[in-house]
Each structure stands twice: as structure tokens, then as C-alpha cells.
Amino acid sequence: MSQAIKTAIYTKPLSIKTDPSLYYSVGGRIYELQGQDDAALPLLTYEVQSTPVAGLFDGEVYIKSQVLFTIYGHRRLGAEVIGTIEDQLYVLMKDAALAPSGYDRGVVVPLDRDRRTVFDEIIASESIYSVEATST
């Protein structure tokens, strides 16, 4: 069932593919955990870091997943490019209601935005969101 949450997270950026959009900005390069070795930049990865589960008396299950989004880009293109993409991620995900199969909905709440790190020629921007959902 947790795969449904991952699928819903992946599907959300696909809803808008034309410029300007998150999907367009990362060239459709959206991966779970990490990008392909030969993938061009920028790209977006997502990682479901934790999913606490609470069983309800009626047999349903309430979950609150913590999801890490990371945007990778070339440092030579400047940090502002990453910021623009991070803004698009925020606008797309803030208060969004995902549609994971088998759940009532997945309410997305931003928790931590745009934490930057640099390594070699890469700039990375990490953002953390929570996804709350109840099984149906």
C-alpha cells in the first residue's frame, strides 16, 4: 500500500508538463531515491524517509509520511535556477491533495524548504514535506 503513496508523489508533477512547470524545468527527470548515472541536470528525486502507521479501530490505517525532495543542478548555472525550481515544487505541493490508490487522499504539508548543499560542481536543494492519508 505504501507504494501507492510513492506513485501519487511521482504522478503529481506529471499533471502539468508545459512551461512553466516543475516537470518542464527538470526536463521530466524525476526519480525515486537517486537519478540515473548518466542523467542530465537539473533533476528531481524524492524519497519517502519514514511512514509512521496508526491503526484505527475501524480497521483503517492512518499514515503520515515524511518525504524528502532533492533538486540537483549545475553550480555553473547559478543558485537562482535551483531556487526557481524549488519555488515551483513548493507551489505544486503546498496543501495539494494527492490521490493515492486505496487512500482517502494525501494532504501535503511543507515542513522544511530549500536546504542547500554543494559538492563538486553540483548544487542540491533539499525540501521536506509530509503526506497525511487514511486507507479506505
Partner 1 sequence: MARIVGNDGVVSFGTHSILANAWSISISRVVSDVTAYGDGGTRVVGGMPSYTGSVSGFLEAGAADTSPELTGKFYSDDVVAVTLTAATGCTYTCSTCHISGASVNVSKTGDTTISFDFTASGGFVESWN
CA angle, 61 then 128 then 96, to 5°: 65
Beta carbons of 106 and 5 less than 8 angstroms apart: yes
Give the per-residue contact string, 58-87, with partner 1 (x = CB under 8 A; - = no).
--x-x-------------------------
Report d(CA 83, CA 107) in Å as an integer: 24
- Candidate ranges 8-16, 66-74, 78-86, 103-111; the one touching partner 1 (CB under 8 A): 103-111
Q: Which of residues 30 and 131 has its CB atom nearest to partner 1 in the complex?
A: 131
**Secondary structure (3-state) at 14:** helix
| Binding positions for partner 1, rule: CB under 8 A | 60, 62, 95, 104-105, 107, 109, 132, 134
